[in-house]
Chains A and B, each alone.
Chain A
Amino acid sequence: MTATQTASAAENPTAAGFRSGRSVPAIAWRNLWRNRRRTWLTAGGIAFAVWMLTIAISMQDGSFEIMIDNGARLMLGHVQLQNPDYQDDPRLEFSFRADQPLLQKLQQTDRVVAVAPRLQAFALVSSGERSFGAQITGVDPPLEAAWSTLPGMVAQGRYLETAGEAVAGKLLARNLGVDVGDELVVLGTAREGGVAALVATLVGTFDSGQPELDRSVLQVSIDDFRSGWNIPDNEVHALIVVADSVAASEEIAAGLGEGEDWRALNWRELMPQAVQMVEMKAIGAYVFFALIAIIVTFSVVNAFMMTVFERTPEFGMLMAIGMKPGAIQIQLQLEAFWLALLGVGVGWAASALFLLPLVNLGIPMPADAGELLARYNMPDRMYPAFSTTAAWLAAVIMFAGTQLAAVLPGLRIRRLRPVDALRAL
């Protein structure tokens, strides 16, 4: 520290810089290092804020993306083609024709992993004396097994393979008092008020960890559903499109748009609750951003005020030899710029160092959160995604904050009279 002080006493960089014709930004940079400790502490504050905001948002984004992707891969898919009226009012008659050209077009769309048909309706499932209401879903067993994560959640028995079989949610099976191998009778309302009926053997039960699904879903083969409910060939309630990522699915949905008798729904429309939860959390994140930014800006203002105060004689001298207050202000703004650059650079580096191993290895979640995570359909390890948006946003906020911080003490310089300033301290 003595070394710096002696150096600055001997020749101050601004004066030296002007004489040697050095550029103003270089002078500003050198000025920063006249008080190393203060510069590092101030930059440290900026770096901390950038680091904190980047990793906090990255973790949140990571968990949202996982939640949405898992939700999509369980049963819903990332994109669904539906009759335009079906989403608001899931009636049996709101179906559409899924003919070969349409299927082919979907399968050949870039980044589409799987396409699967769906027929679904509410109906009464009975076994012996017991009856329960359930959502009956007709699926194509081999297709479904190829993409859905539900077959992997079979708790007892196995997943559907052919017609005549059914798998039920664990709770539904328990409520019905049935075991694998028992026969189920499904009774529902067909089109035009007729009776829809089908008989299937329970071959497995699944445990998705989501009580609502486990209590209400019965999957059967789509052919059984079609004959039971007497639905014409090729008519479906939904065509499920699975993409290779959530981000890709939005483009796919937008690209598909609408057809003659169908409309493409993206995950936002299929999972409105998840969207709302994401939005709600985002508001919290913005409040967080704002508070941290204010606190750090205050400490940068403080650092600048101390700097300007200590350098009052210097500014007086510069003004005495003809430097305009505006030029000194520019000098301060440049110092603020370098300071922010230093802080943001360190903050980014720290974020990258912190996040890179986690992006690959994941963070194990505490055991007592397990049940909660299961409800939101999240795995027990969280893989954050490095959010470049957050990194940029944090940087912009910090640059703006430090520029503002340099303006405030600079106002004092305009009021300085060189003679008084030279005598100050």
Chain B
Amino acid sequence: MHVPVKLLLRLGWRNLFRHKRRNFMLLLAICVAVAGVVVMNSLIRGFQFDMQESAVANLTGHVKVLAPGYRDDPNIEKSFKLAADWQPDLPDVDVEGWAARVRIPAVIMSERETRGIQFVGIDPSQEDISFLGSVAIDGEFLQDADDDRVLLGKELARQLETRVGRRLVIITQGIDGKNREAGFRISGTFDADGTGLEKMFVFTGKHTLQEMVDADVVTEISVKVSQQASEPVAKRELGSLFSNLDVLDWQELEPQAAAMFVYADSAIFIWFLVMMGALIFGLMNTLITAVMERIREFGMLRAVGMRPGAVVLQVVLESTLIMLAGIIVGLLLGWLLVLWLADGGIDLSQYAEGVELAGMRSVLMPRLLPQDLVLVAGLSLVFGVLAALYPARRAVKIKPLEALRR
């Protein structure tokens, strides 16, 4: 059976211009739907990215090396030795940065208040991979791994009723299981997005903390890779370097963020389906009208020998053409909107605590992924064809004689 696709395409294209205003309205509706989906998509992706970045920056890294049992019972006994000149020697991975830390629970006391915290010994030069690399500091950041002052969150300082330059007492458990108590001067306070991190972490020099607990050990190595895709490779290679330790990726360390990540993936689909659902009624309506207006035309075409298959194709092609035009303009419009939104991002700082609870950052940056655009375009076309099926069936049912007699 020969179907003159080229002819049908030309016919379809011209038919669209028979009712310019009507088809223009339809085009607008498709554009709004497609652009709306693109913008929502980019916001959800931005949210996903933020969540992952926050999870990784939250002293987690993409991959982390821990002593067995540390996760269940985090204390200095669950630690390991690391050579002073150790470097992450991962041949197949581009490592963006890494940090070896001592991180143990401790109690912090000011003259007036007492709080429970995570006491973290760091080498400040390694910490550009964590949130410490980007927070605002009031006072001074720690100088080096030998710095014997502490850096704490602004909120914690407020709760302890203390400030930069004052002294604090920190109690933690040493390697022998006995409590150690030491005084520290505050070098500075950091201001993170929400108050969660500010209340949880207190930092000092790594060597200072090692001296305090009386052990030349670390409790974790955190590695950040520059390409997300190389994360599994990094995990595998670290696994073979530290065969007697636990090597975990961020999804295992932050299961809630990972679950939210999966959830956002399905949210994208739901959005798309709803928008297309709202659109499909208008699309079908216009297509059916276009068919009914042309009963005589279709009757004649059938009478001169056009096959039913060609009639169906004709209607489907018309639907596809207008959908295609709408998709192209809609994608462009959506892209421009995303560019506009991305200029500065969407400021959510007035919701800082809620943002933190949702694992986001205070400025939401929309993100466009090429594969999402392809998916939107492809699925929209499928919807265009689906919407054309009923009108096409109606067109096929037209009887040549009856139609011509009108």
Within 8 Å by CB of A298, from B111, B173, B282, B351, lies B282
Within 8 Å by CB of B32, from A52, A295, A375, lies A295
Which residues from 271 to 321 on chain B have a C-beta closer than 8 Å to any C-beta of chain A? 271, 274-275, 277-279, 281-286, 288-289
A49 interface residue, CB < 8 Å from B? Answer: yes
Q: Is the CB of B281 within 8 A of A48?
A: yes
Of all chain A residues, which has the CB nearest B267? Answer: A284
A368 interface residue, CB < 8 Å from B? Answer: yes
Q: Is the CB of A302 within 8 A of B36?
A: no
Q: Is the CB of B32 within 8 A of A299?
A: no
Which residues from 254 to 291 on chain A have a C-beta closer than 8 Å to any C-beta of chain B? 272-280, 287-288, 291
A216 interface residue, CB < 8 Å from B? Answer: yes
Within 8 Å by CB of A122, from B113, B263, B275, lies B113
B116 interface residue, CB < 8 Å from A? Answer: yes
Q: Is the CB of B173 within 8 A of A299?
A: no
Q: Is the CB of A298 within 8 A of B179?
A: no
B356 interface residue, CB < 8 Å from A? Answer: yes
Q: Is the CB of B277 within 8 A of A48?
A: yes
Q: Which residues of B contact A44 (CB under 8 A)?
A: 281
Q: A42-B285, A303-B282, A372-B256 are in contact. Are A132 and B29 (CB under 8 A)?
A: no
Q: Is the CB of B115 within 8 A of A299?
A: no
B21 interface residue, CB < 8 Å from A? Answer: yes
Q: Is the CB of A275 within 8 A of B354?
A: yes
- Minimum CB–CB distance for B384 against chain A, Å: 14
Interface 1/0 per residue, B149-176 and A, CB below 8 Å: 0000000000000000000000101000
Q: Is the CB of B354 within 8 A of A132?
A: no
Q: A124-B171, A175-B73, A372-B263 are in contact. Are A309 and B22 (CB under 8 A)?
A: yes
B336 interface residue, CB < 8 Å from A? Answer: no
Which residues from 87 to 143 on chain B have a C-beta closer than 8 Å to any C-beta of chain A? 105-108, 111-117
A177 interface residue, CB < 8 Å from B? Answer: yes
B26 interface residue, CB < 8 Å from A? Answer: yes
Q: Which residues of B contact A309 (CB under 8 A)?
A: 19, 22
Q: Which residues of B contact A296 (CB under 8 A)?
A: 278, 281-282
How many chain A residues touch B (Cβ–Cβ < 8 Å)? 56
Q: Is the CB of A299 within 8 A of B107?
A: no
Within 8 Å by CB of B29, from A124, A130, A275, A299, lies A299
- Minimum CB–CB distance for A7 against chain B, Å: 16
Q: Is the CB of B116 within 8 A of A122?
A: yes
Q: A133-B114, A372-B260 are in contact. Are A301 and B288 (CB under 8 A)?
A: no
Q: Is the CB of B116 within 8 A of A132?
A: yes
Dominant SS among interface residues on chain A: helix
Q: A42-B281, A371-B255 are in contact. Are A272 and B353 (CB under 8 A)?
A: yes
Within 8 Å by CB of B278, from A37, A274, A276, A295, lies A295
Q: Which residues of B contact A16 (CB under 8 A)?
A: none
How many cross-chain pairs have Cβ atoms below 8 Å apart between A and B?
Answer: 166
* Docked complex Cα distance between A193 and B161 (Å): 14
- Minimum CB–CB distance for A219 against chain B, Å: 16
Q: A280-B355, A291-B36, A372-B260 are in contact. Are A41 and B275 (CB under 8 A)?
A: no
* Docked complex Cα distance between A294 and B32 (Å): 8
* Docked complex Cα distance between A123 and B171 (Å): 12
Interface 1/0 per residue, A32-59 and B, CB below 8 Å: 0000011001101100110010001000
Q: Which residues of A contact B241 (CB under 8 A)?
A: none
Which residues from 56 to 89 on chain B have a C-beta closer than 8 Å to any C-beta of chain A? 72-75
Q: Which residues of A contact B259 (CB under 8 A)?
A: 368-369, 371-372
Q: Which residues of A contact B113 (CB under 8 A)?
A: 122, 189
Of all chain A residues, which has the CB nearest B273? Answer: A52
- Minimum CB–CB distance for A344 against chain B, Å: 14
Q: Which residues of A contact B286 (CB under 8 A)?
A: 302, 306
A129 interface residue, CB < 8 Å from B? Answer: yes
Q: Which residues of A contact B115 (CB under 8 A)?
A: 122, 133
B382 interface residue, CB < 8 Å from A? Answer: no
Interface centre among A37, A292, A298, A368 (most CB of B within 10 A): A298
Q: Which residues of B contact A138 (CB under 8 A)?
A: none
* Docked complex Cα distance between A287 and B346 (Å): 14
A336 interface residue, CB < 8 Å from B? Answer: no
A131 interface residue, CB < 8 Å from B? Answer: yes
- Minimum CB–CB distance for A380 against chain B, Å: 13
* Docked complex Cα distance between A175 and B78 (Å): 12
A231 interface residue, CB < 8 Å from B? Answer: no
Q: Is the CB of B256 within 8 A of A375?
A: yes
Interface centre among B74, B114, B117, B285 (most CB of A within 10 A): B285
Q: Is the CB of A279 within 8 A of B275?
A: no
A414 interface residue, CB < 8 Å from B? Answer: no
Q: Is the CB of B114 within 8 A of A124?
A: yes
* Docked complex Cα distance between A47 and B351 (Å): 34
* Docked complex Cα distance between A123 and B107 (Å): 9
- Minimum CB–CB distance for B332 against chain A, Å: 17
A384 interface residue, CB < 8 Å from B? Answer: no
Which residues from 200 to 244 on chain B have a C-beta closer than 8 Å to any C-beta of chain A? none
* Docked complex Cα distance between A409 and B181 (Å): 81
* Docked complex Cα distance between A372 and B173 (Å): 33
A150 interface residue, CB < 8 Å from B? Answer: no
* Docked complex Cα distance between A296 and B284 (Å): 13
Within 8 Å by CB of A41, from B105, B117, B281, B356, lies B281
Q: Is the CB of B356 within 8 A of A305?
A: no
Interface centre among A41, A49, A275, A295 (most CB of B within 10 A): A295
* Docked complex Cα distance between A113 and B284 (Å): 55
- Minimum CB–CB distance for B355 against chain A, Å: 7
Within 8 Å by CB of B114, from A123, A177, A298, lies A123
Q: Is the CB of A276 within 8 A of B353?
A: yes
Within 8 Å by CB of B116, from A130, A134, A302, lies A134
Interface 1/0 per residue, A46-86 and B, CB below 8 Å: 00110010001000000000000000000000000000000
Q: Which residues of B contact A193 (CB under 8 A)?
A: 111
A174 interface residue, CB < 8 Å from B? Answer: yes
Q: A42-B281, A124-B107, A132-B105 are in contact. Are A305 and B353 (CB under 8 A)?
A: no
Q: Which residues of B contact A37 (CB under 8 A)?
A: 288
* Docked complex Cα distance between A95 and B287 (Å): 72
B404 interface residue, CB < 8 Å from A? Answer: no
* Docked complex Cα distance between A371 and B177 (Å): 33
Q: Is the CB of A306 within 8 A of B282?
A: no
Which residues from 106 to 134 on chain A have a C-beta closer than 8 Å to any C-beta of chain B? 122-124, 129-134
Question: Which 10 pairs across A and B sit closest by C-beta, in order of nearness?
Answer: A299-B282, A133-B116, A276-B354, A45-B281, A298-B29, A277-B354, A276-B351, A273-B353, A133-B107, A291-B36
Q: What are 11 A-B pairs at a CB distance below 8 A?
A: A45-B285, A175-B75, A189-B114, A216-B116, A277-B354, A280-B355, A288-B271, A295-B282, A296-B281, A302-B282, A369-B263
Known: A291-B36, A291-B40. 7 other contacts (CB 8 A): A131-B171, A132-B105, A276-B351, A277-B351, A291-B33, A299-B283, A369-B263
- Which B positions have Cβ atoms within 8 angstroms of A? 19, 21-22, 25-26, 28-29, 32-33, 36, 40, 72-75, 105-108, 111-117, 171, 173, 177-179, 255-256, 259-260, 262-263, 271, 274-275, 277-279, 281-286, 288-289, 348, 351-358
